[in-house]
Structure 1
Amino acid sequence: MALRYALSEIRKHGTDRTWWRKRFLTHAVSRYFTDVRRPPATPVVEKDWDNLIVLDACRYDLFEEVHAETPLPGTLEKRRSVQSGTPGFLTENFADGEFHDTVYVTGNPYVNTDLPEETFHAVESVWKDGWDDDLQTVRPQTMADRTLSVAEKYPDKRIISHFLQPHAPFVGDVQLGERETFAIREQAMGNENATTRHRTPFEMLEAGEVSYDEVWTAYRSNLESSWPAVRQLLENLQGLTAVTSDHGNAMGERAWPFPIRVYGHPLGILIPALTEVPWLTHQNGTRKDVSADRPVDVDRQVDEKTNERLRMLGYAE
């Protein structure tokens, strides 16, 4: 059955160079990086923080560029993420542990679908009720407001706030690409018909339809759209707050030692463009007195069928 499916896929996509590149990345390059030459990386759960702001898909050099022009309070360093996509970041950081001293505030549905049900004390699913239907994302200010509310509700818990920006769709002042649907969210909400998605700006770059500078400018603008909300959290959350990312985005960098270019953020491709992320820390007042308590009931609103579809969809790969 597997061979028949493989032959069918080859007949269907055999002349598509992009399809072959993605298959090679998945079946050869990712295995090399994960099984043969895995770069050293420190999980975020082993770092020191009271509050963690995760800017989805923010590579270090992008953050550094914006920070140099509009500094945030705190000290900026570089760290290496354990994975090159959100599902891997979540699984490798959290799936094997219990973090009952932590509340996860998320604009990203993968937190609900890819982790065991009692991983955290609570999960605040902003992607369910804080969604902007026009922009097809969660606005940064919505995430900041909800995070501050959750921090007030749970003063003795560590807080993770997972923004969607600067991940596509690019909804800053400079916009690029289509954003009519967000299939990951629709699948998690139970819409079984949401099986298609639009190409990301990184796939458009790969196809030669837009330039590197066009994508970088829109990518940067998307990060800048989150800047005021991130600053608000840094200035108002109690304790030690860290700003980081789960992974970056590749824009044609090669996956050395393989002479193949990478676009977007395929899982398991542990190159610097995808794993070098910011680590900015800032402390307000005294550190939190954190305690662990039994998890609260969470309405995850997903089923196994949806879960499998999400894993197949990925982000853009």
Structure 2
Amino acid sequence: MNFRYALSEIRKHGADRTWWRKRFLTHAVSRYFTGPGRPDADPVVEEDWDHLVVLDACRFDLFEDVYEDDPLPGTLDRRTSVQSGTPGFLAENFGDGTFHDIVYVTGNPYVDTDLPEGTFHAVESVWKDGWDDDRQTVTPETMADRTLDVAEQYPDKRIISHFLQPHAPFVGDVRLGERDTVAIREQALGNEDSTRRQRTPFEMLEAGEASYEEVWEAYRANLEYAWPSVRLLLTELDGRIAVTSDHGNAMGERAWPFPVRVYGHPLGVLIPALTDVPWLTHQNGERRSVTAEEPTRTDREVSEETNERLRMLGYAE
């Protein structure tokens, strides 16, 4: 440990209770949950599916809330995610293997930066060329259209479609806060100047700048924004389709057995608010006949320096 650096950070942030909470979550709570207190989990690689739709940062009760008002085709169950943030979800599901029967269609840059090259048969990096500058995200319509194109292009591969919704920015019918996710994208493209980051709605909740009800309403609206695109995939894709999430978002739940409250989705904090995720399955016609083949191309043009900057910026608060 660099004690001089630690002392300077304490001097700088010592009066900030939020800073202390985050340090405690990182250095104590996460070590417990990834060690002796680790819960059992359900890796997506051990499930049976032809197409997997990943809704980024969608906790189970949020999905269930929308599903009860507007059911999708299929049967809803729940699973326990392996981690509480996208980097951990990717690393623990895919980091130690090769999956050359899968094409990964992603609005999330971490798929390109945090996994070894050649992990999948191909990666379709929608975050590079499908970015919406006005909304500062990849829209669900863009993700659905690209997923259908890729499914047609690769009829003998399993397809993962990783949406950014309902992750912030909240750009549905109810908007709240501002998250400069465009900076994450620009970092991954090598733009060293994109370091600006705005407060997330969950940080606003933690700071008392927004109520629980306000954040939940905007969070739900962001999932509703993606709902028609998810429905489209469930009706248009062939085979067994599963809809899930990589992790949830905490809104002040306590990290028992620790009394500390959690906001957002810090890595390694494996509480139900962050690991209880939906698992909706629907079979549409015959199953795919899947063949594993060596990767044929790569869309990767990111440096190790960019990798580190993405880890520092992160989606995790």
TM-score using structure 2 length: 0.99
Counterpart CA distance in 2 for 1:90 and 1:295 is 18
User: Partner of 2:61 in structure 1?
Assistant: 61
**Structure 1 counterpart SS, 2:196:** coil
The Cα of 1:279 is off from its aligned counterpart by 0.1
**Percent of aligned positions with the same letter in both sequences?**
79
Q: Deviations over 1:107-159 (max 9, x none)?
A: 00000000000000000000000000000000000000000000000000000
- Kept in 1, the 8 Å contact 2:169–2:181? The answer is no
User: Partner of 2:78 in structure 1?
Assistant: 78
Matched, 1:240 2:240: yes
Q: Deviations over 1:255-294 (max 9, x none)?
A: 0000000000000000000000000000011100000011
Residues 181 and 166 from structure 1, CA distance in 2 versus in 1: closer, same or farther, beyond 3 angstroms? closer
- Kept in 1, the 8 Å contact 2:104–2:159? The answer is yes
**Structure 1 counterpart SS, 2:287:** coil
Matched, 1:255 2:255: yes
Consecutive aligned runs of 4 or more in structure 1 exceeding 3 Å deviation = none
1:84-95 correspondence to structure 2 within 5 Å: 84-95=84-95
1:168-247 correspondence to structure 2 within 5 Å: 168-180=168-180, 182-247=182-247
The Cα of 1:178 is off from its aligned counterpart by 1.6
TM-score using structure 1 length: 0.99
- Kept in 1, the 8 Å contact 2:180–2:196? The answer is no
Q: Deviations over 1:28-68 (max 9, x none)?
A: 00000001110000200000000000000000000000000
Counterpart CA distance in 2 for 1:316 and 1:230 is 24
Output the amino acid matched with 2:28: A
User: Partner of 1:106 in structure 2?
Assistant: 106
The Cα of 1:2 is off from its aligned counterpart by 1.0
1:236-315 correspondence to structure 2 within 5 Å: 236-315=236-315
Output the amino acid matched with 1:314: G
Counterpart CA distance in 1 for 2:244 and 2:148 is 18
Query: Comparing 12-21 with 171-180, which one deviates more in the overlay?
Result: 171-180
The Cα of 1:180 is off from its aligned counterpart by 5.0
Structure 2: gaps of 5 or more residues: none
The Cα of 1:171 is off from its aligned counterpart by 0.4
- Kept in 2, the 8 Å contact 1:199–1:316? The answer is no
Counterpart CA distance in 1 for 2:180 and 2:30 is 31
Q: How many residues align?
A: 317
Counterpart CA distance in 2 for 1:138 and 1:314 is 17
User: Partner of 1:167 in structure 2?
Assistant: 167
User: Partner of 1:4 in structure 2?
Assistant: 4
**Cα RMSD (Å):** 0.8
Structure 1: gaps of 5 or more residues: none
Counterpart CA distance in 2 for 1:154 and 1:185 is 26
User: Partner of 1:47 in structure 2?
Assistant: 47
